[in-house]
Each structure stands twice: as structure tokens, then as C-alpha cells.
Structure 1
Amino acid sequence: MTGSASLPEIPRDNNEGVLELNKDLETMIENVENISVQVTWMAYDLVALRTSPELGSSLQKLEEAYRRCRAAVFGVQQPEKAEVLDPTAAAHI
């Protein structure tokens, strides 16, 4: 391959470079693991909402109660929520 000839060669005796590379690889692996966990929870939530549509309305009521309680405790009006997932909309996906 002509493209492989243009790649710089990594010095074999550079321990600092190898340690830095290992550290970078560990960081990337950790990031991928975190993303994987987030995707797994998203899939779990989707299955839970499709299995039990009333769960969405229960969560919405719980969020509203939390906002009222927080406003009462801190004496500050909380901003309105952006949007809550409609459990019936998930069934049409």
C-alpha cells in the first residue's frame, strides 16, 4: 500500500509516549462504556414505557409534585418543563 509508507513510525523506546497512549486509550474505553450504559438505560426506559404506558403519566405527576415541593421549599417558582415523553406517542414509533 502506498498510504502505509507515509505513516510516521512510532519509536519503540519512548516509554512516555506509550504510557500516554495507554492513558488515552483507557479514557476512550471508559467513555465508550459510559455511552453504552446510557444507551442501555434508554432502551430499558423505552421498553418500560411500551410495556406500561401508564408509567409515563405517573412519572409526569411525580415531576409536577417535585416541582411544587421544590418551589415550596425554596420559595422560587420553577421554570416549566420543556417536554415530557407522551407514552402513547412511543407506541406509534
Structure 2
Amino acid sequence: MADSSPLPELSQDSVDDVLELNKDLERIIEAVENISVQLTWMAYDMVALRTSPELGTSMLKLKEAYHKCRSIICGDRDQEPEMDI
């Protein structure tokens, strides 16, 4: 039969250190995941813009239209909507 010696007990300080290490590792992993997502979006944007340069102009027009609609719906008094006829 195998020797059944008990596992050494960890002191409270060791347990606290392990918990703190786990928290630090979780924060680092989350930060790396966020960076990875940002890099993915940057790469996507770069490929999309190189594939279709008109996309940038279209996105600016869409952004302007969004801000106009938002100012009308939300009642943003600082920006008067312009009427394009």
C-alpha cells in the first residue's frame, strides 16, 4: 500500500498569497483579452478600409446621420438639425 502521509497544511498567509495571486492573474487575463479584442477590431477595420476605401466615407456619413437623429430624438438643444432638401 502507498504511504498515506497527510498533505502539509498551508498557513493563512500562504492561502492569502494564493488568493491574491489568483486575483492578479484574473485581472491580467482580462486585460490581455481586452487588448486582443481591440487588435482584432483594428485589423478588421484596416482590412475593410483597404478593401473598400469608400467605406470610410460611408461610415462618416452614417455617423453624422446618427448624431442628427439622436439630437432630434433626445432633444439635444446644442446642435440644431440641418434640413437637407
TM, length-normalised to structure 2: 0.71
The two structures, once aligned, show a CA RMSD in angstroms of 1.4
Spell out, residue by residue over 1:10-68, the C-alpha distance to the aligned partner (whole angstroms, 9 max, x if none). Answer: xx741111111111111111111111111111111011001101111111110111111
CA distance in 2, matches of 1:22, 1:74: 44
CA distance in 2, matches of 1:28, 1:50: 33
Q: Unaligned stretches of 5+ in structure 1?
A: 1-11, 79-93
TM, length-normalised to structure 1: 0.65
Q: Unaligned stretches of 5+ in structure 2?
A: 1-9, 80-85
Residue 51 (1) aligns with residue 51 (2): yes
CA distance in 2, matches of 1:29, 1:63: 33
